[in-house]
Amino acid sequence: MRLIPAPYGFIEKGEIHFNGRNLLALPEKEMRSIRGGLISLIFQDPMTSLNPVFTCGMQIQESIHTHLSVPKSTSLDMTHQILKEVGIADTERVVSSFPHQLSGGMRQRVMIAMALVCSPKLLIADEPTTALDVTVQAKILDLLHTLQQSKDMSMIMITHNLGIVGDIAHNVMVMYAGLLMEYAPVNVLFDSPQHPYTINLLETIPHLHGKKQRLNVIPGDVPTLSSIPGGCPFHPRCNRCMDRCRTSEPPIFNTANNHQVRCFLYE
């Protein structure tokens, strides 16, 4: 999205290709038309990411007017239409409500409506359900899934909940300390994880069914980004750490079709 705050952080190198265009080389003006138009973002916390002094209707309409030149009456119709699509029955009330008048689940639906109103090609959902209850989370996941299918849209789901991954994703990328650790189709990742971090992570989760046993633990703590250990960043916590892991960072190995692992074990 090119939203890294400018003086503190910068994109050192690399390219991001979207529909054949390198986003990092685009002028700011064109980038503005892509944000919200072709690529949309749903934020983690629906409480703080809506503007408290505008009604929900106005906030959705703002997104429409930025990207499409349509009269106000059309954008109002579109707003009602998209709110119906995200499962809100009483659209009149929601359009004229301020965010604080709605429940968490409703606010997250308004966020989703705002992101989808211009029919983006790619939706990035950054922990869209972390702030919600399990029952509401289930509804939002269903909603995202149906919308993704009906609008033929690509989606990047960012989450720490492996249950959600199993529920919604096709391909999974596991990251640790800023690096790709493992990349695989979802069923491959859960059936035969290869990176020690992924294996451990799956073992630490308490299960709802099956035998109760003592949880496996990944020792140590998550490193802060300012003090990432040298070599493989996971080596201090890894149970299969070798000498060379301490000194050099492993490259990515292709272990099978579409399965990538960053670990010397698979050299």
Partner 1 sequence: MNNQQTRPPVISVNNLKVHFPIRKGVFSNIQGCVKAVDDISFSVNKGEMFALVGESGCGKTTTAQTILGLTPKTSGTIDLAIGPWNQTPVNWNDLDKKGKKELRKHLQVVFQDPYSSLDPRMTIESILEEPLVIHDYAKKERSDRIGQMLSKVGLSSEYLHRFPHEFSGGQRQRIGIARAFITEPEVVIADEPVSALDVSIQAQIINLLQDLQKDFNLTMIFISHDLAVVRHLANRLGVMYMGKIVESGTEEQIFNSPLHPYTRLLLESIPLPGKGRSSKGQGLQDEQNSSLSAAKGCTYYPRCPKRTERCLESYPDLKDAGESHLVSCFNC
Residue 75 in 3-state DSSP? helix
Q: Check binding of 125 to partner 1 (CB under 8 A).
A: no
By CB under 8 A, the count of residues binding partner 1 is 50
Ramachandran assignment for 152, one of left (phi > 0), alpha (psi -120 to 50 degrees), beta (any other):
left
Residue type, 115: A
Q: Residue 244 Cβ, how far from partner 1 at the closest point, in Å?
A: 24
Q: Residue 267 Cβ, how far from partner 1 at the closest point, in Å?
A: 25
All residues at 6 or more sequence positions from 75 whose CB lies less than 8 Å from its CB, including other chains: 61, 64, 65, 68
- Binding window for partner 1 (CB under 8 A); candidates: 34-42, 47-55, 117-125, 127-135: 127-135
Q: Alpha helices of the chain — where are they, by DSSP H?
A: 28-34, 56-67, 72-85, 91-95, 104-116, 134-150, 162-168, 186-191, 196-204, 243-247
Q: What residues does 22 pair with on adjacent strands?
A: 17
Residue type, 87: G
Residues 166-205: x where in contact with partner 1 by CB under 8 A, - otherwise, as a string: xxx-----------------xx--xx--------xxx-xx
Q: Check binding of 150 to partner 1 (CB under 8 A).
A: no
Q: Check binding of 222 to partner 1 (CB under 8 A).
A: yes
CB–CB of 234/177 below 8 Å?
A: yes
Q: Give the span between the Cα atoms of 91 and 82, in whole angstroms.
A: 9
Residues 83-102: x where in contact with partner 1 by CB under 8 A, - otherwise, as a string: ----xxxx------------
Contacts to partner 1 from residues 18-77, by CB under 8 A: none
Q: Check binding of 112 to partner 1 (CB under 8 A).
A: no
Identity of the residue, 24 or 217, whose beta carbon is nearer to partner 1 in the bound complex: 217
Binding site for partner 1 (CB under 8 A): 87-90, 103, 105-106, 133-139, 141-143, 145-146, 160-168, 186-187, 190-191, 200-202, 204-209, 212, 214-218, 221-222, 224
